[in-house]
Amino acid sequence: MKILYGTTNPSKIKWMKKMLEGLDIELLTLNDVKLQLGTIDESGNKPLENARIKALAYYKAAKIPVFSCDSGLYIEGLNEEEQPGVHVRRIHGKTLNDEEMIEYYSGISRSLGGKAIARYRNAICLVIDEKQIFEYDGEKIASEKYIIAAKPHKNRDEGFPLNSLSVHIESGKYYMDIKTPIKEDENEANAYKEFFMKALKRQTEYKVQ
């Protein structure tokens, strides 16, 4: 099945292709199709709300199965009003570029003692058609807790600037220095595969009926 992934972010595309390896899915991206679509107003306050807004907008424009994902960042030690949540890049009304994000979040880490504990809560919305919409934002696709470091790694991952600040809690290593797959990464990949497998199975059963 051809499914459109609603993003142009090269790092996200690479990551999702890896997540879906082994499934009978041909992943298309916004770079592969031409859509007459303006800026999408991601006005949701939670990751699932924004994932749904984007997926429905892209489906209406493309008229093929499409999914979108969204994430919210939550940092221990910050009160609710200070949490980045779904506005990871937009701070005080300004959309930060990669380097500005690294500077901002390393500053938060310093204010919390140099080792801020953080976690992403993720959501996905898959729209097959108007009647078949599948969503998930549970624990299975939430990230494990990790450390946001005060000192950035020397390397950068375009589109994922906070990877330069992300440190694995158990090993104390920057994720960018870990070459072998980490168990929690494998668990997250399996969760995404499970989501698509269940959705496509239900979609097939719907067609049969």
Catalytic positions, please?
Answer: 70
Q: How many CA atoms lie within 13 A of 66 on its CB side?
A: 24
The CA-atom distances, in angstroms, between 208 and each of 25, 32, 184 are 20, 30, 36
For the CA atoms of 36, 38, 42, 48, the dihedral, rounded to the nearest 10 degrees, stands at 0
